Structure 1
Amino acid sequence: MDGHSLIKQYWRACEERDWEAFGRTVAPDVVYRDPQTREIVRGRADYVAFNQTYPGDWHLTVERVIAQDDEGVSWTSFAVGDETMTGLCFFRFGDGLITEIDDFWPEPYEPPTREVPVVDRY
């Protein structure tokens, strides 16, 4: 399976709470890192449990996936209640499985005032 399909399958299983299928997308020795919280999870069983026990009634939408060779990235929208967050996940692949994940959750902020009005807001 190519990286693009693997990432899509990973997120589909996650959204469907199909933890068996989710676990089949990651390597037995997968490493997950969240640089903002400085959390690290090692191994398939622990990583599945980490996701399976995430609190709240959350849902995610995949906005974009790009993958080439042994690396890929996804942009997701993650909703918990009334709050929606943007997630950026960087993946590494090996032997048809995800071997490493670096997960970023940037927070929105108000931009600085500009001297030149060249930017619109959406």
Structure 2
Amino acid sequence: MYAANRWAPNKAKEAVLTQLAAWDFRPGQSVLDAVEAVTVLLVATTVADQGHRVSVHLSDQDGQACILALSHHPGLADLDDDAGPEVLHQVTAHRSVTECGMDTGPDGRRVWAVVDL
């Protein structure tokens, strides 16, 4: 969990990289670059929702990692903003991303990506 401020994306990026290393994932530099960029994009998107905090959730399965960022800002509209498609386009620009998505729920905006490691 991070305060929703300008430092959150980089703190989350470091935490994701640290956890992947702890799980003994040693992807190549291009995949690491994608994980870094995608994490920063996801967290920056949730920070922009102007809630008080954001959280990042990381899971792995079958050589893939799922990175999910949550804004914890309840009451958001159903993604009528222009950020959604642009963010997802930027996320999928990374070749190692196999899936991504974004939605809102009672706990705020959720944005996620699955990365081949």
Given the two structures, how large is their TM-score scaled by the length of structure 2? 0.31
Structure (1 or 2) with the greater strand fraction: 1
* Rg larger for: 1
Structure (1 or 2) with the greater helix fraction: 2
Given the two structures, how large is their TM-score scaled by the length of structure 1? 0.30
